[in-house]
Amino acid sequence: MKLKDLSVIVASWESRQWDAFIAEYLPAGVLTDAFWSGRPCPCPICGGKDRFTYTRNRKRGDWVCRKCNNGSPSGGDGLELVRRYTNMSYYELKCRLNGAAMPTPLQLPVRPASTRKPLDSAAKLRRIEQQWSAASCLSPGDHAMQYLAARVPGLRAPKPQSLRLAVQEYWHEKKLIGRYPTIVAQFTLPDGRMATVHRTSLDPRRPEKATVIDAEGEILPSKRNDVSALPPAGGAVRLMAPRNGELGIAEGLETAYAAYMQFGVPTWYCLNRVLLSQFVVPDGLGIQTVHIFADFDAVDEKTGKSPGVADALALQKRLRQAGYKVVLHRPKVRGTDFCDEWRTVYQLRQMSNQAVAA
């Protein structure tokens, strides 16, 4: 049987068939309302927060991403999205859409080697694994510990297995901006695989985040993900082991530690609110109760909601449906997170300790 060409198969597709095709190959976690309605959302291929838009602008499952070409903009049709997400070749897709079984490798047509290929999944994995293995474990008084102690007063917590420290070069648009002590965090999927590493660049002299400025004076983010070897939806940075079947979930590193100090619940973090809303409880750790430590963001004028709380509520709903006990915690003051709240609680506790001592 001669296989029909992909272009022939998709030629008759309407926009909703493209939608259905994408829905078949991408996981529900990335196919959010924002995705389908064409609002900025995390990229299924390379992550981020709002770099991806499903535009459908030629009615062929079209999309754009600001970072998908090794940090530069990229886009394509639904075939390209599915192919890049799944790492299938066009040939494999062609077989599938023809309803045919894949031929044995000997029959595969030889693909000409392209001159400049974007990093494939294996290369991305090698890259993040190299960064992780090149970084060293935290030790008392190092840059990472000093930074965390400055952000989360009184911090006492188990030594994190998922954080390391390295001096890393900061590159932006192929230019070296500087070298910084960098917290390297391992972002782990529910099945235990590492999806990416998240990096926080620190000031070399003071216990604070680095101020990173390029030659044109643009301020660059001190916190960034590296390439995503795997789609990050569902994962978290596993800061400490769950205890008594309980686990906390927060957006950021600092809020996770602050929540741990305030509530005593071992807490992981998801890097941002979208990934928090997509968090999946891993099997095999005995987790029954999930505490969600929401950021109480100011109200977004477009939605009329506090984004951090809205995403925390979405997670609460999904986890409850899955049978978990869920406790949603929200800071008392609008516009704050648990890092802010812990500072206040800590000061009050210090004052009352002093009052008792006096």
CB atoms within 10 A of CB 333: 11
Point out which span in 59-67, 82-90, 139-147, 199-207 binds Zn ion (CB under 5 A): 59-67
Is 68 a binding residue for Zn ion by CB under 5 A? The answer is yes
Is 41 a binding residue for Zn ion by CB under 5 A? The answer is no
Lookup: tokens for 335 = 């516009």
* Of 68 and 163, CB closest to Zn ion: 68
Those residues whose C-beta lies under 8 Å from the C-beta of residue 182, and which sit 6 or more positions away, are 135, 165, 166, 167, 168, 199, 200, 201, 202
Point out which span in 64-72, 156-164, 171-179, 312-320 binds Zn ion (CB under 5 A): 64-72
* E-only strand ranges, 14-61: 41-43, 47-53
Is 65 a binding residue for Zn ion by CB under 5 A? The answer is yes
Those residues whose C-beta lies under 8 Å from the C-beta of residue 93, and which sit 6 or more positions away, are 6, 79, 82, 83
Those residues whose C-beta lies under 8 Å from the C-beta of residue 71, and which sit 6 or more positions away, are 173
Please pick, from the candidates 45, 125, 163, 195, the single residue that binds Zn ion as defined by CB under 5 A: 45
Lookup: tokens for 325 = 């006990």
* Of 45 and 183, CB closest to Zn ion: 45
Is 237 a binding residue for Zn ion by CB under 5 A? The answer is no
Helix, strand and coil content of the chain, in percent to the nearest 5, comes to 30, 25, 45
Least spacing, CB of residue 74 vs Zn ion, in Å: 7
**Segment (H or E) for 175:** strand 175-188
* Of 118 and 190, CB closest to Zn ion: 118
Point out which span in 60-68, 88-96, 320-328, 329-337 binds Zn ion (CB under 5 A): 60-68
Is 93 a binding residue for Zn ion by CB under 5 A? The answer is no
Lookup: tokens for 77 = 């049709």
Is 43 a binding residue for Zn ion by CB under 5 A? The answer is yes
* Of 71 and 190, CB closest to Zn ion: 71
Least spacing, CB of residue 321 vs Zn ion, in Å: 30
Q: Measure the CA angle with vertex 347, ends 342 and 351; round to 5°.
A: 145
Is 274 a binding residue for Zn ion by CB under 5 A? The answer is no
- Cβ atoms of 153 and 343 closer than 8 Å: yes
Point out which span in 40-48, 104-112, 202-210, 348-356 binds Zn ion (CB under 5 A): 40-48
Lookup: tokens for 179 = 């070298």
Point out which span in 17-25, 42-50, 218-226, 296-304 binds Zn ion (CB under 5 A): 42-50
Least spacing, CB of residue 48 vs Zn ion, in Å: 7
* Of 80 and 254, CB closest to Zn ion: 80
Q: How many residues bind Zn ion (CB under 5 A)?
A: 5
- Cβ atoms of 44 and 30 closer than 8 Å: yes
Q: Which stretches of the chain bind Zn ion, using CB under 5 A?
A: 43, 45-46, 65, 68
